[in-house]
Structure 1
């Protein structure tokens, strides 16, 4: 009877996994459309803000006051670049063979420079094959996730970067022979229960002063690579899991 029960539960587990993947896919698509709409609304007035700051700068003789217009112009340019990335299509991707561990080491260096008291451990599967992907998008997506963990830890605590191979994976209703599994695990307080199911929604943040765009942008970049991102969180352990296809579809 034990064998029969095992055989009966396996299809149920598979159905639950497929249902979860479909739910995440629909959420990603809805988030992407909302992000694009938000980006359009934000982008339109940015040119006016920047232009007005430039005009004001020409009228100011006090160098100290001109420092303020410099800040406005620089921030407008930064936001303009972010909006362009949010609005970029698949055609703007620059896929090339890369080693995921090179990406993770770049992210690790950036985060440790920003949070020097943080501990970032690595558990890499060095046998992983190369991945064809947009290097800058993967850096930005991973950076946003790791920075989110570092901020939740308030710069103190431990983050684990783990890579593994996954086999026979379904992503966006497509079956792949091999996929990369990347996990970002922290020992922080966990995601508040009231936003746990909405953590990838634009403008949703568990931190005062957070923009709520970092994880949405990460999800968008992962989705453009036909991948999937999910999170499991409880007090003392939060794990962001990313799946990215490696091999051709079976």
Structure 2
């Protein structure tokens, strides 16, 4: 078997795996979007940490769709020996790789700024959507119950919120260590910590795994680009 034929077969099998993986992610994304409660119950505190910052269902649907299309292009491009499909595959992988590198650099350089933006976004979400939107309410109820925390920074994140407006000025019961109605006085005495430090701790605890997976994905992307370009160039010789 020649090198070209071997790489062509490997390219087809590799991208077929990507197609299947993309389909699985699409299915999981739809499941999470429809039934986020089951997702939270299965994956526990880490899932609640992630869902504070991104809509996991829509994110998985987007990633699954991209992977499905990418795998289809690579698989068909190699099988049919189509230069057009191969160069499209190469270009998309290159764009994704550049975006990943840029995102990693921004995350490392502007960590503090990213945290400030996240805090402002999530607090606004708490004020306007908690106890109003079922998905947001489920995620935060699970988070505050499991981590024994209140709000993002503390109970004051609920000041002038939709929840307080519809509960006679009271705070969520998670903000108080008392069976009494959770008023501002009781919440202040309870000193229940905010969820943000604990959420960051959960994410950082798994940073090594995430970093390893990211490095592996980048290596696969580079290998895929090299193989796609090799096949593309060899087609000129056939």
Larger radius of gyration: 2
Is TM (by shorter chain) over 0.5?
Answer: no
TM-score relative to the length of structure 2 = 0.25
If asked which structure has higher relative contact order (CA below 8 Å, sep 6+), I would say 2
TM-score relative to the length of structure 1 = 0.24
